Amino acid sequence: MKLAFIGAGRMAGAMVRGLLRSGACQPVDIAVIGGAGATAANLARETGVRLATSAADLLAGADAVVVACKPQVFLKLDPAFGPPAAGKLVLSVLAGTRLAKLGAFFPGARALARAMPNTPGAVGQGITALCSERPLSSADAANVQAILAGLGAVVEVPEPMFDAVTAVSGSGPGFFFEYVAAYEQAAVGLGFTPEQAKVLVRQTFSGSLALLAATGETPENLRNQVTSPGGTTRAGLDALEAGKFRDVVASALLAARKRGEELGKA
């Protein structure tokens, strides 16, 4: 499988490294191109993939095209990238960019698919949502799975749910990291050193997630197991409830979904 990457940022880099790590591709099978910065050159130097110099150079001989630039960059992408993609599989990882818009830019593509990975894919622990314009052939479906498998699990959802997927799993790591940062800051406020707070907080979170996965219990049941009437956990949970913690979480997801919808209309 010969792949052409339009864009060479963090997600493209994670996908390229996943493909190389899994053995689905060798460096010679992948070409990348970026914008004015040095990200594409850096990715090529670090992984051994080929740095393309033009749309024609990038797409020559490619079996599939991975659109991995920023959505705002795609809006201004040189139309020269469209015609050479004729007859190829096109897979996009752009937030908010609908299949219809991709089809208008790549009218000759043999198949169009859209994916929404997240940043834990950089260590093979991500989750990626997938949809396609129409059912993919077995060969194209296998190629898409190979491209995405290095990032982690893949789940198929209909395109109308993609803005919600973007909010929940695409933006989710950002929300989680903000909570970790806030928790560590609060721990320092209790008197721990930053390093002590880091160890205590991160092991508490990773251990709690491992317990959740191992037991198959609901989060609420595990929460109740550590919550005694009149105890310390109950006092903290009451504070979260007073601050409308769940409403705040819901508002973050709604805001992220709304922004995805706005990007789709741009």
Cα–Cα dist 249/172, whole Å: 10
Q: Give the SS3 label for residue 42.
A: helix
What pLDDT, on a 0 to 100 scale, did the predictor assign at position 42? 96
One-letter amino acid for residue 116 of the chain? M
What is the tens place of the pLDDT at every residue in 51-96?
Answer: 999 999 999 999 999 999 998 899 999 999 999 999 999 999 998 8
The structure's pTM equals: 0.87
What pLDDT, on a 0 to 100 scale, did the predictor assign at position 22? 87
| Max Cα distance, the chain (Å) | 69
Task: Give yes or no for residue 184 having a pLDDT over 90.
Answer: yes
Share of the chain above pLDDT 90, in %: 90
Span 181-193, average pLDDT: 98
What pLDDT, on a 0 to 100 scale, did the predictor assign at position 4? 97
What is the tens place of the pLDDT at every residue in 165-180?
Answer: 999 999 999 999 999 9
Domains delineated in the chain: 3-157 (3.40.50.720), 170-265 (1.10.3730.10)
What is the tens place of the pLDDT at every residue in 115-142?
Answer: 999 999 989 999 999 999 999 999 999 9
Cα–Cα dist 139/122, whole Å: 25
Span 224-242, average pLDDT: 97
The answer to whether the CB of 30 falls within 8 A of the CB of 19 is yes
Task: Give yes or no for residue 36 having a pLDDT over 80.
Answer: no
What pLDDT, on a 0 to 100 scale, did the predictor assign at position 95? 87
